[in-house]
Structure 1
Amino acid sequence: MKAGILPQQHPDPVPARQPLPQFSFSSGSQLLTAWDLGTPLTLAAVDGDQPGSALQQAVQSAFQRARAAGQPRPLLVGAIPFDASQPSCLYVPHRYQWQRAATAQPAHTPQPPLLNQRNVPDAAAFKQAVTRMVHRFRGSDLCKAVLSVQRQLTFAADVDLEALRDNLRAQNPHGYLFQVPMLGDSTLLGVSPELLVRRHGNAMLSHPLAGSARRHSDPHADRDSAERLAASSKDHYEHQLVVDDIRHQLQGWCCRLQIPAQPSLTSTSALWHLATRIEAELVQPAPTALQLACRLHPTPAVCGHPTAAARQLIQSLEPFERGLFTGTVGWCDADGNGEWVVTIRCGTVCRNQVRLFAGAGIVAASDPDAEWDEVQTKLGTMLRACGLPQ
């Protein structure tokens, strides 16, 4: 996975000894940390791709206030929820710093004992929902929807956020590691494998993932799993829906668009994925990274196709609000450069309560048992970071 963009350092030196950052985002070997986040921008991101939208006007006003306060290069950080009509969780921090990310080691401090855990919905209800989704595809133009689950964990004492973050980084050194304070007392924490958009000048990159298969410790079984995914017509169909949607959304914003004819295989420690590296040269004046993120979000990788119908079906079948899960998290500077990733392989932490999330793309060829296995595998990333068996 390529390293991210390293903009100019914040001109004000940050003291060597700092409390733990309120926001952090790592991309490759680079780490962005921020303190003193100030008042959050909670405007909905609906129409956030438009320069005159309420969100974009609020961001520009926040940048102007930051410059007036002495910041020559203000920066926006935070997260946008799955449902862009819900409040965003964005900040223009008073202090931030870019630095090289140290090689993370697994945390030595264990988490408190686990008191209980449960899936919402449980296996039977999830599989029934998959069956209902597949039935809804018949005789309609709806061809994909993403169904997700929560794993709710209760520990005997407050969870150690620093240890959780260290474990995530050690297990997934090439992922996009993020920590975002949410409205209230919760913290969003995760390590995403999926780049929604990176913008630097007039160059843009998106690296969507769709279609996955479990990895195995045995090399032969692992290779077989990758080969089955590469040959799977079901997974290629699901992946192509995502690529076609991104191509459509970028129309009019690019003077050059390069999309490979076939996806490639990429992997995390837990899963093989089908991936397509999409590169573009943006028209001038180029849209900002935040505008691009708002234009592309949500892709069929986390919602479905067509988007509006898939979202409606998800709302009727999922027994919880996703919040920031399957939204987008990242940063954008005042020049419009930035990175936004898909908010997956993540959870929210509030004292001793942890909620983990995972989803699977459902298409007409989906098997309920296989989809349940997939979401449980995806939960494994965060469960291992909590020191728990999958």
Structure 2
Amino acid sequence: MTRAIDPVDLAARLIACPSITPRSAGVFDVLEDALIPLGFEVHRFLAGTEPEGPVENMVAIRGSGAPHFAFAGHLDVVPPGEGWRSDPFTPEIKDGLLYGRGAVDMKSGVAAFVAACSELADHPGTISLLITGDEEGPALYGTVSIMAWLAERNIKPDMIVIGEPTSEIRLGDVVKIGRRGTVNMWVTVPGVQGHVAYPHRADNPVPKLARVIAALDALHFDHGTDAFQASNLEITALETGSRATNIIPGSATAQLNIRFNDLHRGAEMIALVRKTAEAAAPGTTVEAKISGEAFLTPPGPLYQLVTDAIRAETGIEPRLSTSGGTSDGRFLIALCPVVDFGLLNATMHKLDEAAAVDDIRALARIYARIVEAALASAG
């Protein structure tokens, strides 16, 4: 039998690769080296072109037949930023914490799942890992490319756990069963540039944009649902393109984001913003990009598998939530039921990102329980 993998050691080796989106920096080599001895058939491929790519993706498969349990995740990380107390890509264990960019989001989660698989010598059915290098970035060539790869080969999982960090206070206290949709928009009001001392020769777009912002801020979408919090619109940036103190700008732009629940679709939100902006300031243009629609996994076997495993390992009854940002579940839900579950998320994307060593090992045990139970029906 292959020696069991220590998830903390594997997580550290993954962290040591500076895989800032879309660079892989050798991180997929480390993961492949861990999976091959465990009997996985590893498929790696590149997708996309510069500047968003190329992106490296991996599908690793062990076993055959039904049921097919898949784990999804990513090995890319956000830039570390300045001010770390140590090198963000030199993993360090101190006071029971593993430090490094990606320790929480989500290299330790990937390592925990691999470790869980190393404990399962023989099993019925199929286990797969769907791992991308483009989750933290634009997500154009990551999970969507993996799904296309699967479709070409007529491979379809029966259930998927995404290893995103969902826990809040203690490991296992929150499982994400869906996420709100998200759309970004850039609302531009045209004007006529001119000298501030001669306003009659110009057309200042800033007061008009202020009216647009006020009208957008007054919008009320819904009161939320049993599964989702209320939809909300937030202005995230303002830009005129002018830095001089004596110029009336030729245009003014507001950037905004809407997080919406499953009462709405992204296209509906775009249409509403366009209508509202045009009424407040005729001639306003709106550019928009839908990053994902709202999704919800209905109650079913996957809920039970995950909650039973968490309860057995930690004694905690997890809360099922749709709060927080989106995940690649927005794509994978088209294949099968999906939930997100992983480590504490308090330090993700922060300076000195760190995960508790004990939590990483406990997560591996929880994942092992989930997989064993998921595949038991084939026995």
**TM-score interval, smaller chain:** under 0.3
Task: Report the structure number with the largest CA radius of gyration.
Answer: 2
**Taking structure 2 as the reference length, what is the TM-score of the superposition?**
0.26
TM-score (norm 1): 0.25
